[in-house]
Every structure is written in C-alpha cells, then in structure tokens.
Structure 1
Amino acid sequence: MRSFEHSTAVQARLHELVPGGAHTYARGSDQYPEGMAPVLVRGKGARVWDVDGNEFVEYGMGLRSVTLGHGYEPVCTAAALAAADGLSFSRPTELELLAAEDFLSLVPGADMVKFAKNGSDATTAAVRLARAVTGRTRIAVCDQPFFSVDDWFIGTTDMAGGIPAVDTVKFPYNDLDALAATLAACDVAAVFLEAATALAEPLPGYLESVRALCDRYGTLLAFDEMITGFRWAAGGAQAVYGVTPDLSCWGKAMGNGFPISALAGKREYMERGGLRTDQDRVFLLSTTHGPETSALAAFRAVVHAYRTEDPIARMERAGRDLADGVNEAAAALGLADHLQVLGRPSCLIFRTLDAEGVPSQAFRTLFLQELLERGVLGQSFVVSAAHDADAVRATIAACAEAAVIYRRAIEHGTVDGLLRGRPVAPALRRTAAPRQIEASTSR
C-alpha cells in the first residue's frame, strides 16, 4: 500500500489556513478517498508526484486546463522570457495586440476579444454586456454543471449562501421546445450554454435553432467555450458545429495551465465597452492582471503548438484507446453495466454504478481508492496530448486490477469492508456534511 502520510499532514494544515483546504472546490479533499488526497509537488507530461514521493498518471489535467502536458517546454520558455522583461505595466504591451490577433485568427465568428484571468471574469462580463445591450436582466442558462463563481450563477446552486435572489432561469440541453417556452414567457438578455459536453452532442439542427430563437426574441447567444475551446478544436465548439454566437467565453486550456481567459464577440456588442461608441459605456472587463505578459506569451505558444502539431488528434487517440481498454477489462469481469468509460475521447468520464445500476458515490470512491493505490490520479479520464501509449497502458492495467475489487463489491451489494473512510461528496452542496471535518482545537 502507498503511503499518504505526508500528504495527509499537509492537507490537515491546509484546512487550518485555507477554507476548504484548497483554493478550488473541485480540488478539495472531500473529492477523494479519506486519507488518500495527494498533495502534489510537481508534474511533467501526464505524470505528477506528491509530497510522499508517489508517482501518478494524472487525469483531469488541471481541471481540463492542461492539454499539452505539464511543464510543456515551449510554453514555459515563452512565459519565462516574457516575465524576464516585466510582467505588468501602466500601458498596453505589444503582446496584447499579437495575442488578440492570434486569438481572432482561430475563432471565426469573433471580431474583438478582451483578456482576463479566470473564466468567471469572462462569463460575468458577457452577462453585464448582454443586459446593457438588451435592457433586460434575466439570464437563461443551460442545465449544465458550471458557468461562474458570481452571484448570477452560484445563486442557482445549493451553495447560494450570502447571495440575494438572482434573475436566472435554467433550461434543459437539446430540448428546443423548453428553450422556446422560456424565451416566450419572459424577456431574456442572454442564453448561455456549452454547445456540447463530454456526454452530450447537439442533436441535428439544435444549435442552429437556438441561434434562430435568440434572433427571434432579441436575445444574445453566448457560448461557454471553457472546456470545448482547445479540446474540441482550437476554434472551439463554434468551429466544430458551424454556429456563431454573439459572445463566447474562454479560459482553461488557452494557456496550458497559465491563468488566462477571454471574452470574445461581435464588434457591435464588444464596442459598448470601448471608446468608439455613442451609447452609454459598459464596464466590460478591466483587470490589473488581465494583460500580464507571461500568460499572454504562454497563450501565443499554445496557439503555435496547435498550428504546428496536432494535440487534439493525440488526445482523441489516447482517449479512444483508454476507453476501449478499460471498457473491455470491465466487460471481461461482467461489469459492463456497472463500470463504464464514456464521453468524447478528449474529455472522458467514468461512471460508477452500484449493484442495482444506480450511480453511486460510494462505488465511485472505491474505484478512486483502488486507482490511487495503483498510481492513477483523477476524478475523470480527461486526457492531454502528453498521455502516451505507456500512460494509457499503465492506466488500463490499474483499472483492470481495480475492477477485480469493484466486482467483489458488486457481488456483495456493498462497499463495506472494502472502502476505507467515507464516500466522496458533491463539490457544490449546502452543508459540509457528509464530509465535514472536525475543527482543530490547537492554533
């Protein structure tokens, strides 16, 4: 058995100093088996190392922000060289122009772009702009996992503490009638959605019809390209499916882990945040660190990699091989209805079902536990271009061994006696229970 002694000690100290013990809820220790939440010290390619010296093949890759692999040298070199010449100035740098040109050359339907540091900056700026353009306040968001840390979205989740009532409504994906009813029933400033997700492709004509509905009702259409951008295609989902939104919001893989995001859109709307408008101006985006040079240089190096290599093809190939291998191993053990790898090859997830075929946090935790013991770290099987054949083979082998334990739990109908500690819990939930941690009495 691997030792997680030092990771557990560091994690306990983090809980003393950082609410939740992590700076992102999805990175929290409650998302991993108890006593098995590695605290990492470095990564290279598709592998990471923790404070105990354990080596893992990692999946999820920085919450899907790393597509070229950890420590990808051209990106790191470009960022370091830019930083050596200064990070932040009192005037724009030439990098801002060059990065904007690079971005707009990739995104066919965008005329202008503004950079920031995190995805919520971009999505909330899009909300603000849509409200100013339309004179309406209501936002319609697709019933998909996440759009922003800001009130307009978090107010719709179970972690709505401290947030006043929000004027946001939800609609189901791929249900055109439901969206049409929403737009007919109330004045909506913007429709927000991911054009596709790991498990859901748009039905034929769906996105085109969403575009037509927004035009009909005078509503702006915004695509969230945080995950699809640089993972479906360098130009995002809009390049894949051929539907142009009014606004689009980007982040994650733009910088291969460096902090950068973007709001892009049609000139007639984006100019409302500039100096060439006759209308009242919109406070679109104005951040101290948005144009910081190292992240812009990292972004330009990412663009170069996508133009000269084919990272998406490598991700797709690795994902297909991984899904086929794990699903074959599960089927060989009679687990095809209980343990499944699904999704777009570049954005895979695994489903963990109990003996009754119901999604189970307890069975998920057991699978995570057994993978960690065998050197695989990840809440998903989201790959990068650095996941080579060796990484995929090692993961399939680990899954095959973990599946033997998983079958034992299925046969007994319970994880009791196999799972060490409490199951994981949803990252966004109203209470700390069922993974509440007792506060330390020492300071």
Structure 2
Amino acid sequence: MNALTDPNQFLRDLFAAAVARADPMLCVPRALPAKPAGRVVVLGAGKASARMAEAIEAAWGPCEGFVITRYGYGRPCEGIKIVEASHPVPDQAGIDATQRLLEIAKGLGADDTVVMLISGGGSALLCAPADGLTLEDKQSLSAAMLASGMPIGDINGIRKELSAVKGGRLAAAVHPAKLHALLISDVPGDDPSDIASGPTVGHAGHADLAIATLAKWKVEAPDAVNAYLARGGDPLAVDDPRLAGVVNTIIAAPSQSLAAAAELAEGLGVEVRMLGDAIEGEARDLAVSQAAMAVEVAKQRLPHPVLLLSGGECTVTRTGDGIGGPNAEFTLAAAIALKGHPKIHVMAGDTDGVDGAAEVAGAIADPTTLALAEAMEVSADGALARNDAHGFFGKIGMQVVTGPTMTNVNDFRALLVLP
C-alpha cells in the first residue's frame, strides 16, 4: 500500500509486518536443533507459548509437554497440553496450571531434556505465590501496580520477590534435567531475567528494593505482601548452581519486528527514522514529545514521506475510570497535540493484539480524527482525562483490532509525515 494514497492502511500494513516477523512458526524452527535423544519435555508460559509449542510439533512431531497461555491464545497441539488462564491479572486457573507445571518439572531427571517456551504474559500466567501469600494478594497487588504507572521492569522485580516460580525458580525445579529456554522478548533491552519475570534466570534484587519501589510509586500492597517483604523474602541467587547449565536463547525481539516494518517502508520509498526499540515512559508524555518531532519534520521540504518508528513499553497512570491501554492513550494524546495537522498520521499498537486489558491492539489517528470526534460530540480531552482512549477510538471507528496474534514483542509506534 502506497503511503501517499492511503496513509492509514500503510501504517496498518507496517504493523502487520512487524507482527509477522515475530510469528513463532517462523522464528522457532530457526532456533531448534535436531530433537535430542531420550525423553524431551516441552514446558512454557506466555501469550506466544502455545504458538511456539505448535511450531515445535510442526518441526519435531508430537511432543510431551505442558504450556500455559492467555485465554483465547490456545493452539492445536497433538502431544503438548495447552491450558489457558487469565492475563494481565492472574486467576485460579493460572494457579492450578502452574502447580501442574511445577509437578512435571520436579519429576524430571538428569537424562531428561526440557525445552522451555517463554514469552511476554508469562508473569501473570505463571502464578505460584510465595509461602504465606494468596491468589487474592497477587491479584490486588498486580492490579495496583499496573494502574500506578510503574515501569514493567520494576513490576517484574517485585513479582520475582513474591513468587515460587519466577526469578529462576522454575529452572531450579527442572534441575537436574538439561534446560534450553527459547524466549520471545517483550521487554526493553531483551534481558532474559525480565521476560515473564525470568523463570529461568536468578533474581539479582532484594526485598528492601521491592519495598522502596512500592513506596516510590505509591502502591498500597496487601498486608501479607508487606509482612513477607519485611521478613526479607527468599530470592534465588543468580549464581545458584541449579541454574549453571541453563541455556537462554532470544528467538524474537522488538528490534527485529521494527526492522521488518522499516524494510517494508523503505521498499515503498519512505525514509525511516528509528527512534529506538526500548523507549519507556508515560504514554501521553511520550506522545507529546514524538508529535513535536513529527511537526518539526513536517516543516522541512520533504522529497518523500518520513516515518518516525519506535518500540518499547509505555505506561499509563490511571486516574480515571475509562478503558485505555498505553498504545491507545499514546495515539489519543498525539492526536490532541497535533491538532489535526494535515500531513501527519499516527498509529500505536501492541503486537500481542491486547492493549492494556482491552481486546484491542491499539488505534490510529489522522488529520480528520479530532474533527470527526467533534462532529460526533465525542470529547478527545475528556477521554484522555478519564483514561478512556479505547472508548474514544471505538466510538469514532479508528481502533486497530487484530484478535490474538499468537506472539508478543511489545509496542509498535509510528508517525508518518507526508511531504
């Protein structure tokens, strides 16, 4: 699709290209060796894990295994059992599935090989509260942290402190079996210790840091959580000998998906300016900043369209009662900042197809967005104040809805400046 003839569809095509680059059916086979001799067990958790399991069976045939994914993200497998649970706030199904996964892991021996499939979303789906904590404690804390604007790295650090499976504990349970983890990254920096809160990597944090982080972001934790952290927690050290033989391999990452979008754009004569693949911050603030960049670009005598492309993970500090994930809020805030600029189109979407807790990937805004909303008596400023970006774009018909994408390499943001 030509960027000049249909800019909005062009942006949707770029997003589709980014998602396609991270399809487990493509990236898993490239990372798989020949199937090891002896018993091989496939375990995993995350939004992409069922698709990853499907890819393994496509390459190796039916396999023994157990994988936990988000509701609606299951895939057909012949031997590997796929169980669905809640995300982003855990539920009892996740507790039960994680217990079953741990039982399988603890029953393995030194002659066995485990292929662990880890992707974003695994933090909520792998739910095994530390001693003295309950599902209700984890649910309450998770919801509070997600609403606080806390960066995902800090959220995952606290999750590790309070889990019997994160922060390397799942890998420790697998020991002495051989463990090779395949990871699809949805975190800035692609650190395996941050993806799904690092179930195969030891924890370098400590309880005092978790306490300080909760205080910094004004998160009121349940009493049981505060008491557990006050006792010092029980983290698994990074150099724990049970983790010595673990192999962690990143098979898909945000940078690769952004590169796929850039390749498509450049092939169609668009100049790409990459802003970064690990950008974090408050969604509305980042939107204002990037919108200002786009306006400056638009002032130039451009011989061709220019695309400002970025990834990472924005946050939303919820003060309203609306429905709005970080990508929709970014797009809404950018539209307001651009004030109907005639040359600039904006799109932001989560590559897993779920922006925040909404079953919507993101949204798109163009020079007509604010005028359309005004004609429909929909207030852009009011929606932003209520954190109701999804409600806003739903009413004016400018949502990006993909359904489950079966992968997850974080956020995609694009601002297209026409000549």
Place the TM-score, normalised by the shorter chain, in its bin.
0.3 to 0.5
Structure with more strand by fraction: 2
- Relative contact order: is structure 1 or structure 2 higher (C-alpha 8 Å, sep ≥ 6)? 1
Q: TM-score, normalised by structure 2?
A: 0.38
